[in-house]
Structure 1
Amino acid sequence: MSNSFNTEKSLQVAGHEYRYHSLKAFAVASSYRLEQLPFTIKVLLENLLRKEDGHSVMRSDIEAVAGWNPNQDQSGEISYSPARVLMQDFTGVPAIVDLAAMRDSVAKNGGDPAKINPQIPVDLVIDHSVMVDHFGNPEALADNVKREMERNRERYAFLRWGQNVFDNFRVVPPGTGICHQVNLEYLAQGVWSQKVNGELWAYPDTLVGTDSHTTMINGLGVLGWGVGGIEAEAAMLGQPISMLIPEVVGFRLSGHLNEGITATDLVLTVTQMLRSHGVVGKFVEFFGTGLSQLPLADRATIANMSPEYGATCGFFPIDQVTLDYLTLSGRSPETVALVESYCKEQGLWRADDLPDPTYSAVLELDLTTVKPSLAGPKRPQDRVLLENMGIETEKVLPEDNRDKGVPIANSNDQLNHGDVVIAAITSCTNTSNPAVMMAAGLVAKKAVEKGLSQKSWVKTSLAPGSKVVTDYLAKAGLQSYLDQLGFNIVGYGCTTCIGNSGPLTGPVAEAIDANDMSVCSVLSGNRNFEGRIHAQVKSNWLASPPLVVAFALAGTTCIDLTSEPLGEDQSGQPVYLKDIWPSNAEVAEMVALVNAQMFLKEYAAVFTGDESWQSLAIPDGLTYSWEPDSTYIRLPSFFDKLQASTTYPGVNDARILALLGDSITTDHISPAGAIKGASPAGEYLQEHNVKELDFNSYGSRRGNHEVMVRGTFANIRLRNKMVPETEGGMTKHLPDGEEMSIFAAANRYKKDNVPLVVIAGKEYGTGSSRDWAAKGTQLLGVKAVLAESYERIHRSNLVGMGVLPLQFLPGSSAESLRLDGSEIVSIPVVEGLQAKQNLTITLTRSDGSKEELKVLCRIDTDQEVIFFQSGGILNHVLLQLMK
């Protein structure tokens, strides 16, 4: 490795000597002033100093980052090498399938399959597969876990095989917690240390993850963000991540939250502000005196929501609050001492009396102005004040028969439009935060004491992010009250937030379908996109855990909880939210019960798993024994053709597969929830003798490309403008005009050797870092996507799969061009394709007229061009290994 600036130094901490690359030494050697650089830029700078090799990282790259200027547009490209990779099972299984397939490909070409191995530490936490089949009773947890193992035995056995044969790969078994919370509470170290050639090195703990909410770890001062599984696999295999030097937006916090205001209220306010400002592709860094008043769990709650406000990360620098949390969560004294010493030595330490960095732009929020809020009904940035909830709900209800109540079978109750049918305390956003979890327990306690109960039509559930939550709710004596309101623990995982909400009770489901009822969910999650939470639920609202409990009691969203009663007490007197809402002092008293012993106990055997996990039968061998009849794990076809070319071959006479609008999410493109029997994926599974009861979810089937390609663009709420009267994964096959599923049309086009394109509006690919949204697109035969703008991760994933992302130039769009989907699209051959170059494509309309259109190639960096020319990132890595 090069060391142009002679920055290698030693640091003595707790009896150990650590080697490190000194930012102070760099400043002396280079004359660059680093004092006012954002903390995140300093982390990137250290990364480049440590990885300088004269090839992927050069002296000029280091100087470009050191010279970061808040007043200039950032355009320089750098190669970033994270310390580690984090995965969850929905995104992790296909990544390990790809690694297994790469081993097969290497072996078939006469190479050593053991060369395909993670080169940096990789942790996979199984947290996305538990479903809320059982709820509202003491046996719910055990029953759901048993069903989870029955459904996913083959997937889990495959992961155990991977854990045995791949180096640097650990699996956290099911039933432990949500990957981001496990990362926050246990995996993250603040400062990473590793022996290299016999020397102990220290450097910032950094990571990328295959879940967009990897950003939660930024609350701990650990720089990390979500990438697609494709990009993560490349990082695992030792490839640096190509990225542009980011703009950094500063967010100043001052004051403190008022009485009764939760971290969820704060994060929804921050999300709305940053989404409105526009931070897509940018770093956000929080600063100001308000940070000293903000507990680490609150910081993590804000950092978690970075994908919702569109930023690459939402970073909180390391300070005394960070150290206190590391100690509380059971990290060793040596770890805490290293974090403090290293960060103070490197200028990575924040304190109120130290000068603030300079930023590309600054937003400000006085914490005293935050008010009780929710977000919905289908986007997390659409904040609604609690007092306006009833008004906002009315806006999305059907115009006719808004007050129509329909009977629920076997019950004296009626179901109305706007009723809450799912109330779920779920997701990493909030369950990592003891304050809001204790507040939910206190609301439940006070409600029970006043004789209130949840409405009969509400499906209630509690899915903690880790077992530590169970420990402190039990110690506080609050879990029993949650149980009495139906919030029994149903599992340790994402559940409802990822769409694993499970079925509604039969009578409620039948009432909804028979009368086309517009009903709602209220969940303490971070995602509420259309069709995500439950197929029968049209409106989804994000709320704090105590508000989730309150809405379960109210049973409707057509209510102003600030002025209307939740119900009546034993004496018939109205009970209002204010009557059962805990004071800040009450919450603080409960939070004080959380201690390090809880963390040490629950993480003592974190990689061991229970008997059912340990007893899984797994195959031997460096390569995987693919089962030809498997409907979960199949050998994909991505690596059948391996060749690179500097010439982009162009696309001739492509048909438009789908003409889509704005805010098309990765959930729209590749849903994670339930598989419908009448869908192409459902038909495939039935053909393979899988009963509908055992379909499981799209997310759990991501190791089978045959299911996933049939599920691409299969979201029940997808609207394709080519078939405006329909909803779901439908399109019009041309030129005959026959309407059919997108998968069926793509198949017919493929047989006729007709290439395909997809056209969309703004913010294409919003949401989860779902690699199958790109993989499925490629397998359908889509050669290019043309959109008005892209979310960061999905654009990168398209490049990583060899699908060309194109962007309309300002002032141009599908609407301005009056496209209807009947057009034929041609993209020219390009010798020496370049990043961000303009291309001229040709549109041939149905009347035969032709029109040339200039578009922007959204391959953003030179390294991405290289990947694209190889047919994708993993193809590039394989080609390099085979050399």
Structure 2
Amino acid sequence: MASLDSFSCKRTLNVAGDTYAYYDLKVAEQNGLAGISRLPASLKVLLENLLRFEDNKTVTKADIQAMAEWLTTRKSTHEIAYRPARVVMQDFTGVPAVVDLAAMRDAATKLGADPQRINPQVPVDLVIDHSVMVDNFGHADSFEKNVEREYERNGERYKFLKWGASAFANFRVVPPGTGIIHQVNLENLAQCVWTKDEDGETIAYPDTCVGTDSHTTMINGLAVLGWGVGGIEAEAAMLGQPVSMLIPEVIGFELTGKLPEGATATDLVLVIVQMLRKRGVVGKFVEFYGKGLDHLSLEDEATIANMAPEYGATCGFFPVDKETLTYMTATGRDDKRVALVEAYSRAQGMYRPEYEADPIFTDTLHLDMATVVPAISGPKRPQDRVILTEAKPAFTEAMGKEFNKANEMAKSAPVEGADYRITNGDVVIAAITSCTNTSNPSVMLGAGLLARNAVKRGLTVKPWVKTSLAPGSQVVTDYMLRAGLQDDLDALGFNLVGYGCTTCIGNSGPLPGPISKAINENDLVATSVLSGNRNFEGRISPDIRANYLASPPLVVAYAIAGSMQIDITREPLGQDQDGNDVYLKDIWPSSAEIAETVRTSVTPDMFATRYAHVFQGDKAWQGIDVPTGLNYAWDHTSTYVQNPPYFEGMTMEPDAPGDVVNARIMGLFGDSITTDHISPAGSIKANSPAGRYLQERQVPVLEFNSYGSRRGNHEVMMRGTFANIRIKNKMLDGVEGGYTKKDGKQVDIFDACMDYQAAGIPLVVFGGKEYGTGSSRDWAAKGTRLLGVKAVIAESFERIHRSNLIGMGVLPLQFEDGASWEGLGMTGDESVNILGVAEIEPRALMTVEITFPDGTVKTASVRARIDTENELEYYRDGGILHYVLRNLARS
């Protein structure tokens, strides 16, 4: 970390007898960065990062000065290179990253280099939390049965990850059954201020991270700047490469007042989501400030930070304050670390109560928390907030507007073998599911207290409701047991089903067969109520069309009511033992009761005990027999993990990129082709190229699992690239799906690409505006590369996907002067030459020659969207993995 230190701001900090080196922002302000004390705290974190990594190549003095200049414009088009302190991954997105590391070790060996050189260059933690499914529910043994099934499904992946934990330095794996990535990060992994021993001194700097899950943002509640990225950016950060980003706008969100009786942190965050979606904060930071923060617990703040992807922001940041320090102590962090966090944040002007004035923001919003009322959100989007008192009429309205069933409110159907019927609006899934709320004891214990009160009054859950409790960590179980509330939740069917991301990502498991049959045969609009953060159509369950986000207590209440057609604020949830009506207000716990239960039930010893052996795992994990050795012993029969071909034929010196000659066109696409269109996701169809591949290897259709679970096998993933059922390749008239035209015939894209590769013919793709929008996904770029695509030529690119293409050695080119493939009259039958590749420079103008079937040749001027020298180095090396591999091998 040899910084040039243009602003002469490296200083030492003495804390509790220890000395730390750090880059002092107050000194930097005195030495030329005027006014930076008024920067938002989140931008101060970025500024410190640039000061620490100034090298006049990836970070220049001008980059640092741009941070101060932001104060004048409050927005910027300046691109900076940011290096997070660490990386967190969940297992779906983490497996391909570890696969790439293992493949790099094999390649290093072939190059004659020491494979031990191939390790993450920053700390990486992978938390296995995305694989457990709610196959079993409502019974005392549901957890054990679900874990057993999880290991049956995922044994190959777990064996590989366990090998990685022993083979790589700087890489740790949190075994399945421990908790969800975000809560484990919040309760244990994050340190708020990170330290590193280097060149004989200990350097202190802000704890920052990127993660391969969009809700990595939850850690901003602990004043740790973090957000979700695609797998390629995560791998780059893991390998010590900077994340390229624009200096963001920062929207200040002022909170005042405090929540009224009966309102929860969930209700608060649903208001915030609605407000920020209306404001428009995509690509921006949001930073919370104001006196209202004095009335929020850190868990409340983490709940708000978690939902940043739902309100569209890069992150929702909370500065360090007294609550940060209290939480760190309460969760068992080392006393010296807590002291360092306080001293460092005060020294840097990042400690909230000590701001001389509010930071300067791009824009501000304000919310008086006293105005928050109970609410849910749905039926399809997190921002579609519905006040609880209006939930019943809102569902009636949705039946007409969303589902075209305005006159079918009373429609019902019998359930085979049961003495009840299913009606439109019935709640068939009620899930307290990991993520947004399960880190927050107030709402979790609130749900337990409501369950206790309901059981006392003789209330039960309706028989058609699939109930589940998936806490975010084992600590939740500990405090539920200490409070004596788990028995009450069990009595209502909210038995423990697993520790991990379940219902919110579609791991809700199948509904009971008769209920599923009744819903589908009668085209009913069944509903779910879940305490998660996403409720997009088709995401929760294929049987359920209306999905509502709610606080954990409301999840329990709706399970008892059993229907969205009941106004739970005015109508009875049920009757007690004596036949008296019982209303929600009769069983809702008071804020004081919840606070007292939290105080007496949540203790530091729980965190210390649970996290003392967090990487050890249960007997099933410990029983996995893994191969030893620096290099992985690939199982060539595995359908989950395979050695990707990125490094085949690689030499220590890269071949200079040359012109693309006589390329064929794989696809002509319109505007707004997203990475969700390009990247494989969801279920694998039996008649798809990926499905045929699996069946040829004797995998039955019922064991296909998902593309997400098979992301470590490039053979499956490349067969699913550009294969979304809704993608439209305009080489074909009106056809949807993963098809192209070859020799005048419609064929699967994968099959055509393999034929072209076998013949040595390069491929190109043409797109319209905003090519690659949507979530940043590694396989959208990896799959493009493996299909043999050399260049993507579009009218404009989404920034991250453009960067990812370069990272995989694919050239992004942008039409100049309003040109387009449609304007050129192309049909896809043309051949393409791309000239000037050997002499390419950042943002160079280049020429594309297009030869039509009749021999006509047209040319188009295009801009190379390799924007920086760093990106050019990646491209010339064949991609970021090749660049890093060669550099590590040389060293």
Residue 622 of structure 1, aligned match among 600, 615, 630: 630
Query: Kindly tell me: are residues 31 and 452 of structure 1, through their superposed partners in 2, closer, same or farther at Cα, counting changes over 3 Å?
Result: closer
Structure 1 residue 92: Cα displacement: 1.1
Contact 1:228 1:796 in 2 (8 A): no
- One-letter amino acid of the structure 1 residue matched with residue 290 of structure 2: G
Indicate if the aligned counterparts of 2:833 and 2:850 stay in contact, CA closer than 8 A. Answer: no
Q: Which amino acid aligns with 2:78?
A: G
Shift in alpha-carbon separation, 1:253–1:761, aligned structure 2, 3 A? farther
Q: CA deviation at 1:449?
A: 2.8
Name the CA distance, whole Å, in 1 between partners of 2:550 and 2:820: 35
Residue aligning to 2:280: 278
- CA–CA distance in 1 between the matches of 2:311 and 2:758? 42
Indicate which of 696, 718, 735 corresponds to 1:709. 718
Residue 397 of structure 1 is matched in structure 2 by 403
Alpha-carbon contact 1:252-1:364 (below 8 Å) kept: yes
Question: How far does residue 297 in structure 1 lie from its aligned partner after superposition?
Answer: 0.8
**Map of 1:510-659 to 2, 5 A cutoff?**
510-592=517-599, 593-640=601-648, 643=654, 645=656, 649=660, 652=663, 654-656=665-667
Does the aligned pair in 2 maintain the 1:531–1:715 contact within 8 Å? Answer: no
Q: Deviations over 1:607-630 (max 9, x none)?
A: 111222122211122111111111
**C-alpha distance 356-772 of structure 1, shift in aligned 2 (>3 A):** same
Distance in 1 (alpha carbons) for counterparts of 2:571 and 2:818: 48
Instruction: Specify whether residues 358 and 627 from structure 1 end up closer, same or farther in structure 2 by C-alpha distance, changes over 3 A only.
Output: same
Mapped to 2, the partners of 1:873 and 1:329 lie a distance apart of 38
Mapped to 1, the partners of 2:730 and 2:379 lie a distance apart of 22
Would you say the 8 A contact 2:39–2:360 is kept in 1? yes
Counterpart Cα distance in 2 of 1:851 and 1:22: 57
CA distance in 2: counterparts of 1:392 and 1:760, whole angstroms: 37
Aligned residue in 1 for 2:123: 121
Change (3 A) 1:806 1:524: farther
Q: 1:709 to 1:749 in 2, by over 3 A?
A: same
The structure-2 alpha-carbon separation of the partners of 1:860 and 1:299, relative to structure 1 and needing over 3 Å to count, comes to farther
Amino acid at match of 1:472: Y
Equivalence for 1:34: 36
What SS is found at the alignment partner of 1:654? strand
Give 3-state SS (helix, strand or coil) of 1:35's partner. helix
Is the CA contact (8 Å cut-off) linking 2:442 and 2:594 kept in structure 1? Answer: yes
- Shift of the 546–717 alpha-carbon distance from structure 1 to 2, 3 Å rule, reads farther
- Mean CA deviation greater in 182-191 or 640-649: 640-649
Question: Is residue 2:700 matched to residue 1:695?
Answer: no
Deviations 1:320-374 (A, max 9, x none): 1111111111112211111101110111111176411101222222222333333
Map 1:152-551 onto structure 2 (within 5 A): 152-351=154-353, 354-386=356-388, 387-388=390-391, 389-394=394-399, 395-399=401-405, 403-551=410-558
Q: Does the alignment pair 1:43 with 2:50?
A: no
Q: Contact between 2:42 and 2:317, CA under 8 Å: does it hold in 1?
A: yes
Q: CA deviation at 1:222?
A: 0.8
C-alpha displacement at 1:726, in angstroms? 8.2
Q: Determine what percentage of the aligned residue pairs are the same residue.
A: 57
Aligned residue identity for 2:594: V
- Decide which moves more: 553-562 or 473-482: 553-562
Deviation at 1:319? 0.6
- For 1:723 and 1:618, how far apart are their aligned partners in 2? 48
1:91 and 1:770 in contact (8 A); partners too:
no
Change (3 A) 1:246 1:881: same
Please give the secondary structure, in 1, of the residue aligned with 2:58.
coil
- Does the 8 A contact of 1:530 with 1:717 survive in 2? no
Task: Report the CA distance between 1:784 and its aligned residue.
Answer: 5.8
> Retained in 2: the 8 A contact 1:656–1:823?
no
Q: Distance in 1 between matches of 2:250 and 2:231?
A: 25
Any idea what the Cα deviations from partners look like across 1:392-449, whole Å, max 9, x if unmatched?
Answer: 5312224485643222211122223333322221132111111121222223223333
Q: Is this contact kept in 1: 2:429–2:465, CA < 8 A?
A: yes
How many angstroms apart in 2 are the aligned matches of 1:73 and 1:455? 53
**For 1:146, which of 109, 131, 148 is the aligned residue?**
148
User: 1:470: Cα distance to partner?
Assistant: 0.7
Which runs of no fewer than 5 residues in structure 1 stay unpaired?
A: none
| In structure 2, distance between residues paired with 1:430 and 1:675 | 31
SS at 1:202 equivalent: strand
Q: Aligned-pair RMSD on alpha carbons? A: 3.5
* CA spacing shift, 1:669–1:484, aligned 2, 3 Å: farther
Residue 651 (structure 1) shift: 8.7
What is the CA-CA distance between 1:284 and the residue it aligns to? 1.7
String of CA shifts for 1:298-323, please: whole Å, max 9, x gaps: 11111112222222221111011111
State the Cα deviation string for residues 511-530 of structure 1 (Å, max 9, x = none). 33433444333222222334
Judging changes above 3 Å, is the alpha-carbon distance between structure 1 residues 20 and 649 closer, same or farther for their aligned structure 2 residues? same
The range that moved more, 385-394 or 407-416, is 385-394
Change (3 A) 1:596 1:842: farther
2:138 matched to which residue of 1? 136
Q: Deviations over 1:100-119 (max 9, x none)?
A: 10111121122221111111
Q: Alignment partner for residue 872 of structure 1, among 871, 879, 889?
A: 879
Aligned to 1:766: 774
The alpha-carbon distance between structure 1 residues 443 and 243, as it changes in their structure 2 partners (threshold 3 A), is same
Aligned ranges 1:662-677 → 2 under 5 Å? 664=674, 666=676, 669-670=678-679, 673-677=682-686
Structure 1 residue 248, shift from structure 2 partner:
1.8
Structure 1, 141-150 or 404-413: larger mean CA deviation: 404-413
Structure 1 contact 657–756 (Cα < 8 Å) conserved:
no
Q: 1:808 to 1:590 in 2, by over 3 A?
A: farther
Work out whether 1:76 is the aligned partner of 2:83: no
Q: Deviations over 1:683-736 (max 9, x none)?
A: 322221223343333222111111222334556677888999888x45464674
User: Aligned partners of 1:694 and 1:737: how far apart in 2?
Assistant: 32
Separation (CA, whole Å) in 1 of partners of 2:500 and 2:19: 39
Structure 1, 479-488 or 416-425: larger mean CA deviation: 416-425
In 2, distance between residues paired with 1:311 and 1:808?
A: 29
Structure-2 change in CA distance of 1:580 and 1:760 (3 Å): farther
- Per-residue deviation, 1:631: 0.9
**Are the equivalent residues in 2 in contact too, given 1:566–1:575 (CA < 8 A)?**
yes
Deviation larger for 166-175 or 59-68 = 59-68
Instruction: Name whichever of 369-378 and 490-499 sits farther off.
Output: 369-378
Change in 2 beyond 3 A, CA 1:830/1:41: farther
Conservation of the 8 A alpha-carbon contact between 2:81 and 2:245:
yes
Instruction: Confirm whether residue 684 of structure 1 aligns to residue 693 of structure 2.
Output: yes
Distance change (3 Å), C-alpha of 1:568 and 1:204: same
Unaligned 5+ runs, structure 2 = none
Q: Comparing 368-377 with 799-808, which one deviates more in the overlay?
A: 799-808
* Partner amino acid, structure 2, of 1:373: A
Check 1:316–1:347 CA distance in 2 against 1; reply closer, same or farther (3 A cut): same
Alpha-carbon spacing, 1:462–1:681, altered in 2? closer, same or farther (3 Å): farther
- Tell me the amino acid that sits aligned with residue 402 of structure 2: V
Q: Using the alignment, how far apart are the partners of 1:503 and 1:721 within structure 2?
A: 37
